[in-house]
Amino acid sequence: MSGHPSTNGEWIRVAISRYERPLTHYATRLVGDVERGRDVVQETFLWLCRQKQASVEPHLAEWLYTVCRNRALDVRRKENRISPMTDMQTETWQSADPAPSETMERAENESRVLQTLAALPDRQQEVIRLKFQHGLSYKEIARVTDLTVSNVGFLIHTGIKTLREKMQQQEKPS
């Protein structure tokens, strides 16, 4: 047996193992609720089960994030409400599986960055999270979000510049 899963079932199991957690985090951010986020991800994987491995595998991450995003946006539209996660939900989600090696200072810095990130416009937040939390390329992000690659680059650049400025302002003594 080669390094590739030999059956569609094995390929699906590998995809779930690799992407379920990051997709759940992404969907939760989009729909504002962990349970609804899990439902969106479950539907995403059901869609994956209906696909031919050869047609999806070369761009699996992009395909999964696109389907997940579209389904999450459908859920938001259907419920006719956009409710970003509260600070309490964000803290609960992040603390679900803390890495033992993280220091208190790093956790505090990450929390400040995430709080500052939450103040950015939704589009900037989304592309920054897809890039840095989920590791997608500009091209993949463009396809997932229906933006141009240059627009993705602009949003990420602008968002990071704003984050940097806000973080510097927070560090200055009053």
The tens-digit pLDDT sequence of the chain (174 residues) is: 344 444 567 888 999 999 999 999 999 999 988 999 999 999 999 999 888 889 998 999 999 999 999 999 998 888 765 455 555 544 544 444 444 544 565 666 667 777 888 889 999 999 988 988 888 899 999 999 999 999 999 998 998 888 888 888 877 766
Residues 78 and 162 in one domain: no
Full-model pTM: 0.60
Domain closes at, from 63, 96, 129: 96
CB 32 within 8 A of CB 86: no
Instruction: Indicate if the alpha-carbon torsion angle 154, 159, 160, 161 is positive or negative.
Output: positive
Integer Cα distance of 112 and 135 in angstroms: 21
Nearest residue to 130 via CA among 86, 56, 54, 72? 72
Residues 102 and 88 in one domain: no
Residues 23 and 43 in one domain: yes
118 is in which domain, residue-wise? 98-174
